[in-house]
A = this chain, B = another copy of it.
Amino acid sequence: EIVAAAEGLLGGGSKPLAGRRVLVTSGPTHEPIDPVRVLANRSSGRQGHAIAAAAARAGADVTLVSGPVAIADPAGVAVVRVETARQMLAAVEAALPADVAVFAAAVADWRVAEDASQKIKKGAGGPPLLALVENPDILATVARGANRPTLVVGFAAETENVVENAKAKLVRKAADFIVANDVSPAGGVMGGDDNTVHVVGPAGVESWPAMSKAAVAEALVARIAEVLGGAS
């Protein structure tokens, strides 16, 4: 009761997502090459985890599907841990239906066509040639699926043409919003505390100022509540 009262005081008692189911993905995926090697994306999971935490604070019933990360589970969130893109898609589909889905994970676009059951040895034949196949597109699959959430938010980590790529992705993936950011190494976004995002929606592009990933999460959840409020 004391905690609830304190939360009421701190948060102004505002629970704009009360009664809503929110699904968030976060972290990288690891695609096995053999038992000791993986193809991986760089992603700390900080932004996705912060969004899950912010949605829970806003009163939502939150499921977080996370790839391998080294950060703590957010409070008040059901966490499902996965490793590969295919496992992430299965966990996402199992967590539907939801009112909102936020796909913040850095899913590997490709996996190795056939991963080896034993460690590949360095041999006289030289390095192996890794034949890749495309992974399922989780965002597009859910956005075009029968169980489509009311609001589908994708992320786009780019190193060039950030806003143009995000606009094309919005249409191609049938998402409602794409949150795009520049992850060029010089920017320090990956693994860092801050983020500078462009929110691309049907009405155009909002370029938000640089802020902490926690602040981006709060602002994004507020924006989601606003859109859902109008839609309910």
Which residues in A have some Cβ–Cβ distance to B below 8 Å? Answer: 30, 33-42, 70, 106, 108-110, 118-119, 121-122, 126-134, 157-160, 165, 183-185, 190
Copies of this polypeptide in the complex: 2
15 more A-B residue pairs beyond the given contacts A34-B159, A39-B39, with a C-beta to C-beta distance below 8 A: A30-B40, A30-B42, A35-B42, A35-B183, A35-B184, A35-B185, A37-B39, A119-B158, A119-B183, A122-B134, A127-B131, A127-B134, A128-B132, A129-B131, A130-B132
With a cutoff of 8 Å between Cβ atoms, the chain B residues found around residue A128 in the complex are 110, 132
Q: Of all chain B residues, which has the CB nearest A33?
A: B39
* Min CB–CB distance A143 → chain B (angstroms): 16
A110 to chain B, nearest CB (A): 5
Chain B residues contacting A132 (CB-CB under 8 Å) are: 127-130
Chain B residue with minimal CB distance to A134? B127
Query: Could you list some 30 contacts between A and B, CB below 8 A?
Result: A30-B42, A33-B39, A34-B159, A35-B42, A35-B183, A35-B184, A36-B41, A36-B106, A36-B159, A36-B190, A37-B39, A38-B40, A38-B41, A39-B40, A40-B40, A70-B70, A109-B127, A110-B127, A118-B159, A119-B160, A126-B134, A127-B131, A127-B132, A127-B133, A127-B134, A128-B132, A129-B129, A129-B130, A129-B131, A129-B132
